[in-house]
Structure 1
Amino acid sequence: MELTQAVKALQRALCEELPDTPGVRILSVHLSLADSQDPLCWLNSQTCWPQFYWQHRDGHEEYAVLYALRTFTSLAEGQSFLSRFPEYPELRLWGLNAFNPQQGQLFLPRLTWQRQGTQTRLILNLYSESSLREAAQEAESWLSGLCPATAIPALAARVCEQVHLPEKDQWTGLVTEATQAIGRKRFDKVVLARATDMQLSRPMSPAWLMHASRQHNSHCYHFYMAFDSHKAFLGSSPERLWHRAGRQLSTEALAGTVGRDADDSKADQQSQWLLKDKKNQHENWLVVEDICQRLQAVAGQIDVEPVQVIRLRKVQHLHRAITATLNHADDTACLMQLQPTAAVAGLPRKDALAFIHAHEPFNRGWYAGSAGYLSLASAGFCVALRSALVQYDKVRLYAGAGIVAQSDPAEEWQEIENKVAALRSLFS
């Protein structure tokens, strides 16, 4: 059925008698939507927040979720909440984990637009600490206030000013200091990041940037968290942090980078160079070893697949898939073991983080954290890379580079330029 019919069907279902007791209920209806129906456009047309959009990098899953019935400031808090409702293993929370994994913003949505393969559903959650009957009455009224989907406004702003944190000279000093620290055996690797602050000529729609990035950056997880009508954190990330189905875990090492030429033959040459380059191979293997070592605390058998090259619009990366069987289906343990990975922090983690906190001239916040969903049955989070924080007429873009003993400051600066171009070029 069409979206308006689906909403009416949910409203009719809410008229059925529900108990005057606390608890959870999940109602859903199937949708048959035209190809032109875009859940991101529908989400952006609504006038309540938070809003969250997520698309799997292979395109087979897509979600748009709306309005918080309950919010959580950490994944651990959310997992504790879900454990109260084992009869609803598919009940999902959505949101972000900060670079500091003990901090987050996740929420139980009232309404979810879900596409899995060719199957699309509209899912309504009811939750109350006192009365499901009252929750149903509130939901029925709330559904009446939904707005029809409208087009996302095109960008009508231009970039007036651009400032890097750090600027190039300071970056050169930081990389030099990092390589010297590596030489003194303080740590093996550190990932240094840069923030690029852009002042626009007028406020922009954060959903426009997500829409444009989704169009241009393929083979990426697309994530979008709108906190209100003017503030959002979003990105198009190539990297999975973890996916769990039951006790089966999938993660990966994505480290080692080269540019991607528009000419396919030249891009082939670049990928072959990447596969043979000792510095990039070393950087990738450091990440693999760290992930496997950390998973030993929570998993049994761990398998690592052969290295491959993943091609994105502006860059190419070395990639190794890693699978494991967890001792327990514990996503808080997965988060604490895997985030931040060596690909976004360094090795050893504690020493690399100390260097980052002491030297980076900005707070990473949500950048290099993770975005996705959590349920008792499964969970899926991508690393929050190739990302931006949008606030009215200001946009902050993020990118980072792994620094090892052989790193050259100019080459690492060019690497982050290539990475940030995935979003920065959209403003051209």
Structure 2
Amino acid sequence: MIFFKFPFGENFLSVDNKPDCTNVSFVSFTGENQLDFEGNVKEINDLPEVFSDDLSNITLEFPNEDQEKYVGKISSVIDFIKENDLKKLVIARQKLVPYGRLNDAGKINLTQTFLNVCRAYPNAFAYFFNKDGKCWIGAFSEVLGKFNKETSEFETMSLAGTLPVNENWTAKEIEEQKPVTAYISTILKNYSEHVEQSETTDHISGNIKHLRTDFKAKTDKKDLEKLISDLHPTPAVCGIPKDFCKNAIEKFEVLPRQFYAGYIRVETESHIQYFVNLRCAEFTKNAAIIYVGGGITAQSNPEKEWYETELKSEAILKNIAIS
């Protein structure tokens, strides 16, 4: 079962379960796991109600990082960045939210939670799926790639740096976004003779904002999957150099990212689109696991990084519906 909505879209979509095609896929951060939904994309009018008590349990002996542990870890990450002269390393954490903290009944209306997220983030790709014992809800507006089948135009964006919407950009956020932009530009030039790059602007996402630069290029459809493979994971969710930072992520992060910071591939008659899977959570019968992270640089402040991840967790947390 899967439901989703395109950015600024008014209609809810699903797949028709025809086994002859797969048009929606979730790819994990490492690329080692992929969850496919078979069938053609179709519009749907009514969403069935799904509740948390229909899901499996998760043990509450979960290695949840509190503020003290996270701040200590980020301090070590900053030392590692300086020792290895890295521009940026992205570090994630999982926030465990037992439903008892939200409501004594501990019953979450997952369908309404998805609808709340859709309303809160109309510019995001939003989804809700429950398959093979995995139940996730997410919404984020970063496009890893959008390919127009008719014109062969490919679009992507550099999205990095995070602040509350009412704060001014500092050198830390500006320097954090620059290598993401340079990385994407370099890769696109391997696939296209002409690459268009926009000015950098603010990208608002609920209670926070990011720095955004857009790209357009003409490319061949046969090169599309290789291009996506080269782009993912971008420095916005990993770091530079890619392989070195992926190894460092395994060293510093407590648990695997699963589908967090991976991407979602959706193919329709006119386009093939790839969305970065951020602002997401995994739901079980008795708890939600909210995945959040941040780009760490030599100028990072560990306490501020904790606050940033807490802000990001609200994208899901404040929209959880209790029945």
The TM-score range, normalised by the shorter chain, is 0.7 to 0.9
Q: Does 1:184 align with 2:184?
A: no
**1:416 Cα shift?**
0.7
**1:57 Cα shift?**
1.4
Q: Which residue of 1 aligns with 2:103?
A: none
Q: What is the CA–CA distance in structure 2 between the aligned matches of 1:154 and 1:179, rounded to whole Å?
A: 41
CA RMSD of aligned residues (A): 2.7
C-alpha contact 1:235 1:384 (8 A) present in aligned 2: yes
Q: Which residue of 2 aligns with 1:354?
A: 247
Q: What is the CA–CA distance in structure 2 between the aligned matches of 1:178 and 1:244, rounded to whole Å?
A: 36
Q: Which residue of 1 aligns with 2:276?
A: 383
Q: Which residue of 1 aligns with 2:314?
A: 421
Q: Which residue of 2 aligns with 1:321?
A: 214
* 1:356-375 matches, cutoff 5 A: 356-374=249-267
Q: What is the CA–CA distance in structure 1 between the aligned matches of 2:291 and 2:205, rounded to whole Å?
A: 17
Deviates more, 1:301-310 or 1:320-329: 320-329
Q: Does 1:233 align with 2:162?
A: no
* 1:266-285 matches, cutoff 5 A: 267=166, 270=167, 273-274=168-169, 277-285=170-178
**1:355 Cα shift?**
0.8
Structure 2 vs 1, CA of residues 319 and 162 (structure 1 numbering), >3 Å: closer, same or farther?
farther
Q: What is the CA–CA distance in structure 2 between the aligned matches of 1:62 and 1:337, rounded to whole Å?
A: 31
Secondary structure of the 1:423 match is: helix
C-alpha contact 1:69 1:107 (8 A) present in aligned 2: no
1:226 counterpart letter in structure 2: N
2:117 counterpart letter in structure 1: S
**1:180 Cα shift?**
1.4
Structure 2 vs 1, CA of residues 150 and 406 (structure 1 numbering), >3 Å: closer, same or farther?
closer
Aligned mate of 1:212, from 99, 106, 116: 116
Q: What is the CA–CA distance in structure 1 between the aligned matches of 2:30 and 2:162, rounded to whole Å?
A: 25
**1:176 Cα shift?**
1.5
C-alpha contact 2:28 2:260 (8 A) present in aligned 1: yes
Q: What is the CA–CA distance in structure 2 between the aligned matches of 1:337 and 1:63, rounded to whole Å?
A: 29
Q: What is the CA–CA distance in structure 2 between the aligned matches of 1:53 and 1:150, rounded to whole Å?
A: 8
Structure 2 length-normalised TM: 0.86
Q: What is the CA–CA distance in structure 1 between the aligned matches of 2:11 and 2:72, rounded to whole Å?
A: 43
Deviates more, 1:52-61 or 1:397-406: 52-61
Q: What is the CA–CA distance in structure 2 between the aligned matches of 1:244 and 1:196, rounded to whole Å?
A: 34
Secondary structure of the 1:292 match is: helix
1:380 counterpart letter in structure 2: Q
* TM-superposition CA deviations, 1:340-376 (whole Å, max 9, x none): 1110111111111111011100010101111231368
Q: What is the CA–CA distance in structure 2 between the aligned matches of 1:303 and 1:165, rounded to whole Å?
A: 43
**1:398 Cα shift?**
0.7
* TM-superposition CA deviations, 1:39-77 (whole Å, max 9, x none): xxxxxxxxxxxx22221212266422243626xxxxxxx
Q: Does 1:52 align with 2:15?
A: no
2:76 counterpart letter in structure 1: E
Q: What is the CA–CA distance in structure 2 between the aligned matches of 1:238 and 1:197, rounded to whole Å?
A: 24
2:209 counterpart letter in structure 1: Q
**1:113 Cα shift?**
2.4
* 1:31-180 matches, cutoff 5 A: 51-59=1-9, 62-67=12-17, 69=19, 93-109=23-39, 112-114=41-43, 149=46, 152=49, 165-180=64-79
Structure 1 length-normalised TM: 0.66
Q: What is the CA–CA distance in structure 1 between the aligned matches of 2:309 and 2:123, rounded to whole Å?
A: 19
Q: Does 1:307 align with 2:204?
A: no
Q: What is the CA–CA distance in structure 2 between the aligned matches of 1:95 and 1:254, rounded to whole Å?
A: 22
Length, aligned pairs only: 308
* TM-superposition CA deviations, 1:165-219 (whole Å, max 9, x none): 4322221222112211221235221001110112224453433321221122232
Q: Which residue of 2 aligns with 1:249?
A: 154
C-alpha contact 1:235 1:388 (8 A) present in aligned 2: yes
Deviates more, 1:386-395 or 1:61-70: 61-70
Q: Which residue of 2 aligns with 1:130?
A: none
Secondary structure of the 2:194 match is: strand
Q: Which residue of 2 aligns with 1:259?
A: 164
* TM-superposition CA deviations, 1:215-257 (whole Å, max 9, x none): 22232111222215x7412201121111011331100011011
Q: Which residue of 2 aligns with 1:222?
A: 126
Secondary structure of the 1:299 match is: coil
Q: What is the CA–CA distance in structure 1 between the aligned matches of 2:186 and 2:260, rounded to whole Å?
A: 24
Structure 2 spans left out of the alignment, 5+ residues: 54-59, 101-105
C-alpha contact 1:163 1:198 (8 A) present in aligned 2: no
C-alpha contact 2:108 2:320 (8 A) present in aligned 1: no
Q: What is the CA–CA distance in structure 1 between the aligned matches of 2:286 and 2:190, rounded to whole Å?
A: 45
Q: Which residue of 1 aligns with 2:290?
A: 397
